[in-house]
Amino acid sequence: MFPVIVLMDDQNSSYRRSRRSSFGREINNIELQFMTKIFLAIAGFLGALSVASGAFATHALKNNLTVKALEIWETATKYQMYHVLALLLVALLLTQTEIADSSLNIAGWAFIIGIIVFSGSLYALSLTGIKWLGAITPLGGLAFIVGWISIAIAAWGME
């Protein structure tokens, strides 16, 4: 059996309570539930896009791109999927009352931005060959690093 995570509860339970984040801002459970839904939906969409991207490269781009361009495309696809899984982790951690923290929201958004900038710039570089797009890629990598550090901060603040 798989564990079931209950996101909603009756009005008299902890559903309406709030807690203080490691940054001192009060976070209520409605906000956490909303962010969990947002992160799950975006992760689902970006995960499907990652699978489609890999299939597209294998079937449609294989004969149209250089080996180097296909390697760049593969790197973009891998990092996209790795960080989709990280985004799913963030959504799961948001449901845990002892971990839920605003730093997890930062992590989730950092992973989303990282996917768009890092993988997006690599996809564009593969298709166009415009070299300056590679200069944008490290900004996406920086967003990934911010996401992972934010998870560490949330873990450090666990009660």
Q: Which residues of 114-142 are buried (b: 16+ CB within 10 A; e: fewer)?
A: bbebbbbbbbbbbeeeeeebeeebeebee
Is residue 5 situated within a structural domain?
no
User: What is the mean pLDDT of each successive set of 10 residues along the chain, which is 159 residues long?
Assistant: 43 44 57 89 97 91 89 96 97 78 91 98 94 94 97 84
Which pLDDT does position 139 carry in this prediction? 98
Is residue 12 situated within a structural domain?
no
Which pLDDT does position 98 carry in this prediction? 64
8 Å CB contact between 93 and 100: yes
Which pLDDT does position 30 carry in this prediction? 79
Is residue 66 situated within a structural domain?
yes
Is residue 119 situated within a structural domain?
yes
Which pLDDT does position 63 carry in this prediction? 84
Distance, in Å, from the CA atom of 143 to the CA atom of 19, rounded to the nearest integer, reads 26
What's the sign of the alpha-carbon dihedral 41, 45, 51, 54? negative
Domains of the chain: total? 1
Which pLDDT does position 12 carry in this prediction? 43
- Parent domain of 83: 29-156
Which pLDDT does position 28 carry in this prediction? 67
pTM of the predicted model as reported, rounded to 2 decimal places: 0.81
Is residue 22 situated within a structural domain?
no
Residue with tokens 């200069």: 135
Is residue 23 situated within a structural domain?
no
Distance between the two ends of the chain, CA-based, in angstroms? 28
8 Å CB contact between 101 and 21: yes
Is residue 129 situated within a structural domain?
yes
Is residue 110 situated within a structural domain?
yes
